[in-house]
Each structure stands twice: as structure tokens, then as C-alpha cells.
Amino acid sequence: MREVGMQVTAKAEYALRAATVLASAGPGPVKSETIADAEDIPLRFLHNILAALTRGGILTSLRGADGGYELCRDAATITVADVIRAVEGPFAAGGGPEIPTAVSGARRETLRAVWAVLRANERAVLESVTLADLAAGLLPEMTSVGRAPSA
């Protein structure tokens, strides 16, 4: 059976790790070499990611001997979804696995609803967790995430 749900690319994971380093660093720019060393990210790959995060309005780049990268705004206002969108583009609508044509009527629609709820909850988690949460090593309260709305 095909795995259901969002596939997180290495690029998105590295972007989140790099942004979390910056969220943890406090004020002032951090050099790309420092980020690469801290997270064991290949420097050439990291430069592409940092450029995408800068274009996406997540980071600012400062040139010169004292230059580097820093977050454009407070880490508590930047979500995991913001970072992923900056490096990967908008989330695809996506779907669940193929439902065989032998599955009929109500069962087919129920399965489609399950995949829709799954996608909505994935997005809800990504939109609720911030870089400040990741930097602190804590997740926000998400007890209502993962459940279908009550009828």
C-alpha cells in the first residue's frame, strides 16, 4: 500500500533545521558555514536553501565580514508551513491512495473524506508549529488536531 500523507523532502527538512538554528541564535547574523556545521548540511545545498528562504521573506541576508543570515521577523510568527512553502512552493492539493473502482458509493465517499481530513490536519499542524516552538523543543497544544470534525 502506498504511504498516505505529506512527503517531506530533504530540502524542506534542511530548511527547517537551518531556520531553527537561526531562531535559537538570538539577535545578529549567523554565517552559513556555522549553520552547515551545526546541522551537518552540505554547504552548497544550504546556500540554495538560504537563498530560497531569503526570497520567501523568511530570512534576510547581510553581506560583509560580519554578515550572515537572520530571521526577518520574530520566530514565534514564522510557522513550519511558511518555511516549507518558501523552499517547496504552495502545498499541493494532493489526494489519498487510489480507491479501486470496486469500492462503491458511500464507502468510496467515506474514504475520500478520510483523505481530505488527513490533508486538512497535516496542514493544521504545519500552520500551528512555529520556529520558536522548534527552537524551544516544545510543541503547542494540538489535542484537537487529528480528529474529524463532529457531525
**What is the domain range of residue 128?**
10-136
Cα Rg of the chain, angstroms: 19
- Residues 109, 103: Cα–Cα separation, whole Å: 9
Q: Are 22 and 61 in contact (CB under 8 A)?
A: no
The Cα-based distances of 144 to 27, 39, 148 in angstroms read: 34, 32, 9
Within a domain: 43:
yes
pTM, whole model, 2 decimals? 0.80
- CATH number of the domain enclosing 32: 1.10.10.10
Q: How many CA atoms lie within 13 A of 28 on its CB side?
A: 5
Q: How many domains does the chain have?
A: 1
Within a domain: 90:
yes
| Residue ranges in the chain modelled with pLDDT below 50 | 1-2, 151
Within a domain: 142:
no
List, for residues 35-55, the tens digit of each pLDDT value.
999 999 999 999 999 999 999
Within a domain: 32:
yes
Identify the pLDDT of residue 151: 44
- Residues 6, 126: Cα–Cα separation, whole Å: 11
Within a domain: 92:
yes
Grid cell 500552520 is found at: 127
Q: Are 71 and 58 in contact (CB under 8 A)?
A: yes
List, for residues 12-29, the tens digit of each pLDDT value.
999 999 999 999 997 889
**17: Cβ–Cβ under 8 A, 6 or more apart, which residues?**
39, 41
Within a domain: 147:
no
Within a domain: 76:
yes
Q: Give one DSSP letter per residue of 12-65, joined into a string.
A: HHHHHHHHHHHHHH-SS-B-HHHHHHHHT--HHHHHHHHHHHHHTTSEEEE-ST
Within a domain: 35:
yes
Identify the pLDDT of residue 119: 82
